[in-house]
Structure 1
Amino acid sequence: MMAFFWQRALLLSLAAAMSVYADMKLDCGTDFVTLVWREGRSRADTSFFRLGNCFPTSFSATEAVFRVDFDDCNFRRIVTGDLLMYTNDLTYSSYPDSDALAFTHPVVCAYERPEDWYPRLYPPIFNTYGFGDLVFHFGLMNADFSGPAESTTFALGSFIPIMASVEQKTHQPLLLFLEECIAATTPELQPGSALYPIITNDGCLVDSLVSRSRFEQRQKSSEIRLSLQAFRFGLGEEVFIHCKLVAWDPNGLDNSKKACHYVTEHGWEQLDNSASRNLCACCESDCKSRRVRSLASGKHGLAQKAVLGPLTITDVNS
């Protein structure tokens, strides 16, 4: 496939407009894109750049590099007449107390439409929960999070890989959080049900205080991965994990929108930005949360409740 001349012209005009701030280079491949942003403002943290919902493939003090497929990062595919276009946004979300301003720039790759082109179909691998313009997914994964789990039975002390994600569609990049998770032996929470707290206090992984449970490093802002160490609660019974998923504007974070786990000898650590570990300070007390507001109303985010299970935890020594 060959990119059009006008597409190159568009990229050149964008680069010229941005030259006062940085130098952006875009290479549109056949089914992938390479984008390099060289930052001219020393006060900007290049780790905060996002291409759609993807974190940089690599970054340094002055450069953010993305090497990604069009199937990733929430690229929008548009087919009109003889054109096949992939569009996205390069965004910068500044952290609290930063002098650098948040901004967004369009990223576009255009090609001649192949005669035999047709949309790909992918089988679902998660439970899916639709709400408005967002679609949430929640599921058990294999050990390296590369695919769905092959079994729902886990040995006591082993890790239960869990991943949640949200399809953002045309929304701006969002951060996904597990705000609350509770284990129960019933698919519906009922008065008097025996419960085991996993995540409480608006994103505090309290189970990590007594286990090796932890949040894994994000691969995309629209995903969150949890390695949950199998516990004794509900041992040998069917166990269901009830969670509240929250997709939130990264520019509207406070101590009620966070992902914190406890690391022995280090204390509470924040998943997304070690510089903002103060957001986790309230995990030892009470994190006052704000009411979640709808994206449809132009506010900061949207929440969805989800249930995972049944799964079974067994004691290999019994």
Structure 2
Amino acid sequence: MRRGGGLALGLLCWLVAEVASYTPWDFSWGARGDPSAWSWGAESHSRAVPGSQPVTVQCQEAQLVVTVHRDLFGTGRLINAADLTLGPAACKHSSLNAAHNTVTFAAGLHECGSVVQVTPDALIYRTLINYDPSPASNPLIIRTNPAVIPIECHYPRRENVSSNAIRPTWAPFSSTLSAEERLVFSLRLMNEDWSAERPFTGFQLGDILNIQAEVSTESHVPLRLFVDSCVAALSPDGDSSPHYSIIDFNGCLVDGRLDDTSSAFITPRPQEDMLRFRIDVFRFAGDTRNLIYITCHLKVTPADQAPDPQNKACSFNKARNTWVPVEGTRDICSCCETGNCEPPALSRRLNPLERWPGRRFRRDAPEGKEIEADVVIGPVLLSADPGAIGEQREGGDGAAVAVTGAGMGLVCVAVAVALAGVAVAVGITRRGCARGSAGA
């Protein structure tokens, strides 16, 4: 019995040694565990994504086509097609393929509440796929969580895709300098050191949004950019309810006035036609999608015009308990406290987005007046855990990007528990092997 027991113990020790020498990170998880399998980029104006992917995107000349596999989470359990919608406008699917268990959405680039962002090199159209599961047969239990999958289509600005594609953020510049001048306003979400753009996904409460406002012109007319107002909402329509004012009163960063925030403009400016500000991440109470859109009204004045109460960038300094401008004298910020920064003729208090009703920017402005435009940034997606939403990967010109990370949290927990069990078993068995060797 002693010889048989020693043989069994030796065999067990050999197995433990093999397990201990095996690298646990070599497991092949497939699409459900590999984050890169959930995100992709496509070059040129459309590219089919491999069939193993849960979401495919085609960026066509005037529309985008999104195909969603009903086995969205890779569990083998098919979701209800009616629970999927496209964009903040919640557009329904265009077709359903029962043979392949896929749901297809086809919508114009400007439809379903999509947002366009203009960068120096590209037009970026952003929207999202919403999965909002219907209640189970038993209303007391929930079997599936909602999900949001961001979608992007990139188009090079050198190729004018359509006459409508550049309208939302372009405005004419009327002045004595150039009657043909064109301005393009943009908002960009930047990384921590402001060196590059960062993804719109994966933010948590306590994080910071670094937002960079810019205006570019075809020539070199010296201009100074201001952010007149910014409103956060659950859709690109800043007038929707609920909404929250971040910047108001012609350039007062009112969000920084609250005790629990550090929101402020960044001083000094990098350049006259650029303005940076940071805001603390927040979400709307009761919003299960955990996303926000930010609509900002941008405007420019001649660079040699001194800032005034209607054209300013003011932050609240908690240490000094006073408002401080990015440039100009401090008295231009005094109206931030009273909430009335309009000139006497416009002293009536208005909602930030009601000052320019019925149009996105004011055309044919008189000489000497600022030129302005509304620009939307988003959707900014929040996640309960780091990486729960996934990482956004931007492709080249005309690229399509879709991201999700559903199920990754459970996979990580399972891996941690399994590795802990292996470590305990290895430790116990090694002690047994040591005793056996000593007894021999």
1:188 CA drift (Å): 1.5
Residue of 262, 266, 273 corresponding to 1:212: 262
1:112-261 aligned within 5 A: 123-124=121-122, 129-132=169-172, 133-170=182-219, 172-190=221-239, 193-210=241-258, 211-217=261-267, 218-233=269-284, 236-250=289-303, 251=305, 253-261=307-315
2: CA distance, partners of 1:159 / 1:222: 23
Q: Is the 8 A contact 1:156 1:316 kept in 2?
A: no
Q: Is the 8 A contact 1:125 1:139 kept in 2?
A: no
2: CA distance, partners of 1:249 / 1:257: 11
1:308 aligns with 2:377: yes
Q: Secondary structure at the match of 2:191?
A: coil
1:284 aligns with 2:337: yes
Q: Is the 8 A contact 2:283 2:292 kept in 1?
A: no
User: Which amino acid counterpart does residue 124 of structure 1 have in structure 2?
Assistant: A
1:49-128 aligned within 5 A: 123-124=121-122
1:155 CA drift (Å): 1.3
Q: Is the 8 A contact 1:168 1:222 kept in 2?
A: no
2: CA distance, partners of 1:196 / 1:162: 17
1:311 CA drift (Å): 0.6
Q: Greater Rg, structure 1 or structure 2?
A: 2
1: CA distance, partners of 2:246 / 2:333: 16
**1:88-127 Cα shifts (integer Å, max 9, x gaps):** xxxxxxxxxxxxxxxxxxxxxxxxxxxxxxxxxx633878
Q: Secondary structure at the match of 2:300?
A: strand
1:272 aligns with 2:321: no
Q: Is the 8 A contact 1:180 1:244 kept in 2?
A: yes
1:194 CA drift (Å): 0.1
What count of residue pairs does the alignment treat as equivalent?
194
Q: Secondary structure at the match of 2:374?
A: strand
Higher helix share: 2
Q: Secondary structure at the match of 2:297?
A: strand
Higher strand share: 1
Residue of 299, 315, 318 corresponding to 2:368: 299
1: CA distance, partners of 2:364 / 2:308: 17
1:237 CA drift (Å): 1.9
**1:194-221 Cα shifts (integer Å, max 9, x gaps):** 0111001110000001210111121110
* Residue 15 (structure 1) aligns with: none
Q: Secondary structure at the match of 1:219?
A: coil
Change (3 A) 1:126 1:214: farther
1:315 CA drift (Å): 4.7
2: CA distance, partners of 1:295 / 1:253: 22
1: CA distance, partners of 2:336 / 2:124: 30
Query: TM-score under structure 2 normalisation?
Result: 0.40
1:296 CA drift (Å): 5.8
Q: Structure 1 vs Structure 2: percent identity of aligned residues?
A: 31
2: CA distance, partners of 1:298 / 1:151: 38
1: CA distance, partners of 2:370 / 2:238: 25
Query: TM-score under structure 1 normalisation?
Result: 0.55
Greater mean deviation of Cα atoms: 233-242 or 221-230: 233-242
Q: Is the 8 A contact 1:179 1:243 kept in 2?
A: yes
Q: Which runs of 5+ in 1 are unaligned?
A: 1-121
2: CA distance, partners of 1:151 / 1:135: 21
User: Which amino acid counterpart does residue 145 of structure 1 have in structure 2?
Assistant: W
Q: Is the 8 A contact 2:231 2:238 kept in 1?
A: no
2: CA distance, partners of 1:155 / 1:245: 27
1:316 CA drift (Å): 5.1
Q: Is the 8 A contact 2:256 2:315 kept in 1?
A: yes
2: CA distance, partners of 1:125 / 1:294: 22
1:231 CA drift (Å): 1.7
Q: Secondary structure at the match of 1:310?
A: strand
User: Which amino acid counterpart does residue 228 of structure 1 have in structure 2?
Assistant: I
Q: Secondary structure at the match of 1:153?
A: coil
Q: Is the 8 A contact 1:126 1:137 kept in 2?
A: no
Across the aligned residues of Structure 1 and Structure 2, the Cα RMSD in angstroms comes to 2.8
Q: Is the 8 A contact 2:296 2:374 kept in 1?
A: yes
Change (3 A) 1:295 1:280: farther
Q: Is the 8 A contact 1:183 1:242 kept in 2?
A: yes
Change (3 A) 1:277 1:302: same
* Residue 92 (structure 1) aligns with: none
